[in-house]
């Protein structure tokens, strides 16, 4: 699954030394990849791979964590 993260929030999403992404992957047993390319709307694609339930849990956690910055 691919989701889009606002370019301005990508560094917060990744965390220092990838801490936040590593925690997501460890907690939900998914593989999370932030792509370097941007699209015209200033969002960066984030790819999430894993089982359907783990992907859903990961996306929900991303939504919860990003709510504080919107």
Provide the residue ranges of all domains of the chain, joining segments of one domain with +: 2-67
What local confidence, expressed as pLDDT, does residue 36 receive? 85
- Kindly report the pTM of this predicted structure: 0.86
The alpha carbon dihedral of 62, 2, 13, 66 has a sign of negative
Q: The CATH number of 2-67 is which of 3.30.1370.10, 1.10.580.10, 3.40.228.10, 3.40.50.300?
A: 3.30.1370.10
Helix intervals (H) in 7-68: 10-14, 19-28, 52-67
Q: Which tens digits make up the pLDDT trace of 3-30?
A: 999 888 999 999 999 999 999 999 999 9
Q: Which tens digits make up the pLDDT trace of 23-39?
A: 999 999 999 999 987 66
């Amino acid at each position: 699954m691919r989701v889009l993260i606002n370019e301005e929030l990508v560094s917060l999403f990744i965390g220092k030394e990838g801490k936040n992404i590593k925690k997501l992957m460890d907690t939900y047993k998914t593989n999370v990849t932030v792509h370097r390319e941007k699209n015209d709307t200033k969002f960066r694609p984030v790819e999430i791979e894993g089982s359907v339930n783990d992907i859903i849990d990961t996306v929900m956690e991303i939504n919860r964590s990003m709510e504080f910055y919107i």
